[in-house]
Structure 1
Amino acid sequence: MFGTARHPFRRSLPTHVLREMPKHEPEVVSAMRRAEERLREMDVRSEPVNLKRITMQDVRDFLIAYCACFLAVAVFIA
């Protein structure tokens, strides 16, 4: 799969170039590991939604956003 290329530029490259995966510098690898560790330590989840606390303003905001998206898609298709 790596040796075959359909695009003219990729077809002109030698096959060993297509087989090698990009390598990151050691600083980038260590920064990515630190970021993953910090992400595991953080609590990124929000509290569950309480359906009893949904207000009419929340419903209006949802309907406005839904209608705006629907109109944008309809105008794009037309």
Structure 2
Amino acid sequence: MKSLTIFTTASQRLAARLFSRGRTQADKQRGASALEYVVLAAAIIFIVGILATNTTVQNTFQSAFENLFSSAQNP
């Protein structure tokens, strides 16, 4: 019974020490990851915007989908 009490006390002290450390490296990394996702999303939106306004690309995609669907109708 005494060994269980010692184990419980030691685990409580360890938990208190771990939770009272303040900001850890993982907390700092979360902020960097969020920033990377925002930059990635902005890049994707920019690329999609360029593709949407370029008429040559639009015509290429349109003809590709028309060919895809016409070939699906005629097996």
TM-score under structure 2 length normalisation: 0.30
Q: Which has the higher helix share?
A: 2
Bigger relative contact order, structure 1 or 2 (CA pairs below 8 A, ≥6 apart): 1
Higher Rg of the two aligned structures? 2
TM-score by length of 1: 0.29
